[in-house]
Structure 1
């Protein structure tokens, strides 16, 4: 086992540099290191060497390499491991062991992969659908396991001895195998860092799930991350309840009522817009100009789109500029292929867009550019 696996409590140490390499920054190898290198979905430790921040730690062919923010100037090194980062990563990793063991024990659900993220950790599970029954049973067992304060130990076994243990899955390595045991709940071949007891997990919160490549991806946070999330969400709930003049347990009901009211108002707005379109359309259609050009300075883009649709149904050729969206809407009765014209000329006027033979759209940075394009298109339509 590596030193950080044998002595997980070590946070400071002295050693010497044995090798240096430049590869997207300076990397150093040390005579001895207690830094955990990135592996198995768990990020590397952070800390310093002679006060210089360690940005990454990787294991290559048995050598632990440390990437530094700036080069080391001395051969003698004082190493310091960031305790907050080590404890946080160990907590997320320990939580993964516990969650995976419970899911396999209760539902025969296998864990496919695990990753500790900067905000939340994820487990990919061999499962088609995540259900409330699974969630509730998992949360009940988690509380029991945390309260039970199961001891967590790491022991190195020969391969023959290791395979005789009730391992959760077949080891991916041969030879000497490090097995992490959590009471009688879980035996796993693992090289990561872990807490000393399940009670140190304190709290595990699930933040969501999604389908990924046919599996279920479960998101969670543990220990300090869980308390920070809980505090943040309670603060948001309190502020939302105050803004809504509602009790905290009434927030969901009030929000649902507001959503329904918004839908009702949106329907009314849509109906009013339709009446306005009909009214304006009647005025516009009195024009005998073969190319109708409208400039919408105050109208929202939805009104302009409805107007364009109505003009297209009337088989009129029209150009509508919407100032707020900086968008030009176009429809044609077939005099010019609007899509082909756009492809050929838009770039000349700093525009982008496209369309079909009878319908097209284009975005411009300024009305001046749009106006130049409109004049060019009008000339093409007239000819």
Structure 2
């Protein structure tokens, strides 16, 4: 059994320990110590990282009461100088402690139960067995949690027997025979937990719900605590500041200004669409008037792929084989609207790679893309040459 120093003092950053064993298997080096400050992955909380005798500890896990430390190479000597990445540890303590308060508040206010917890690098989530949690409920939950944080209440931990466990108001009942560890924030949350936590709720600083979404008949809540919440605020504040400068508006007027511009842009987009369609109709009429064969081949340096698709759509009303290339986007469109035996997709599949292009399609329509204009030009001319 490995003595777990992180339970006695989760703020302990360094320690000396005796190396009990070193296991080298599956290209992994695992160090076993008589005691450790490294928290092993478990209970939704990732493991600690850090150093043993200057060697990186990348992962820590527990099996049958023994804690294994994965290191980059075999450490020398019998004594281990251990040092954890405390910034990572304290971040996990803030997030995990905040999760307890958030889960407790949801149960207290709405009777929702936490059915899943994930503490990741980019986000933290809990899954609540409620179909819907609306914005008003989110605000009330946040207020309840943060008010409790401001009171700077204590987190208390107990290791109790199965019988003693029944005396605690556990949020989730545990059916075990051995002793279990209970973490309690009085009048807010109490549950069995193996994770590391802050001593006082004030150290969490703040809990902020980022968003909610439906998940497997439940509601998944994304949230951030402490320094993560601060960084999230800093990032969003930078965005708002840039928007204020870009729109030359006050903070309270930004949303109205953006909505107004979105309406204007949508109107302009529709007008542009109409103009492009008109231009495509004119171009198609010009082609129909001047083309003497059933094969239409055009290369455009001033039109994008959407433009040539509009032209092709107009030409499709006639019996043509159509090859249109956008030199602006380095893309080609190939259509067969005749009764001739020309398989567009097959021609592309069998030849386009020789011209460093990518694409495909079916018998009547194919399209492709190229990194270089010269390859597009050569391929489009090749396709044309197979038809004349």
SS at match of 1:314: coil
The two structures have a TM-score, normalised by structure 2, of: 0.92
Cα separation, 1, equivalents of 2:358 and 2:218: 40
Alignment match of 2:133 (pick from 130, 133, 142): 130
Q: Which moves more between the two structures, 208-217 or 150-159? A: 208-217
SS at match of 2:269: helix
1:307 alignment partner in structure 2: 311
Q: Deviations over 1:166-211 (max 9, x none)?
A: 2111226431011111112211000000111222211111222223
Q: Deviations over 1:37-79 (max 9, x none)?
A: 1111111112221222221111123211112234322321111
Cα separation, 1, equivalents of 2:175 and 2:92: 22
Contact residue 17 and residue 76 of structure 1 kept, 8 A = yes
In structure 2, list runs of 5 or more residues that go unmatched.
none
The two structures have a TM-score, normalised by structure 1, of: 0.94
Q: CA deviation at 1:365?
A: 3.1
Contact residue 4 and residue 35 of structure 2 kept, 8 A = no
Aligned length: 382
Cα separation, 1, equivalents of 2:126 and 2:221: 5
Q: Pairwise CA RMSD of aligned residues?
A: 1.9
In structure 1, list runs of 5 or more residues that go unmatched.
none
Cα separation, 2, equivalents of 1:172 and 1:119: 33
Matched, 1:357 2:370: no
SS at match of 1:285: helix
Q: CA deviation at 1:358?
A: 1.8
Q: CA deviation at 1:153?
A: 0.9
Sort the Cα spacing of 1:73 and 1:185 in 2 relative to 1 into closer, same or farther, 3 A.
same
Alignment match of 2:66 (pick from 32, 51, 63): 63
Pairing of 1:256-335 with structure 2 (within 5 A):
256-286=259-289, 287-334=291-338, 335=340
2:387 alignment partner in structure 1: 381
Contact residue 308 and residue 330 of structure 1 kept, 8 A = no
Contact residue 26 and residue 70 of structure 1 kept, 8 A = yes
1:101 alignment partner in structure 2: 104
Alignment match of 2:45 (pick from 42, 55, 77): 42
Alignment match of 1:344 (pick from 340, 350, 375): 350
2:147 alignment partner in structure 1: 144
1:230 alignment partner in structure 2: 233
Q: Which runs of 4+ in 1 moved over 4 A?
A: none
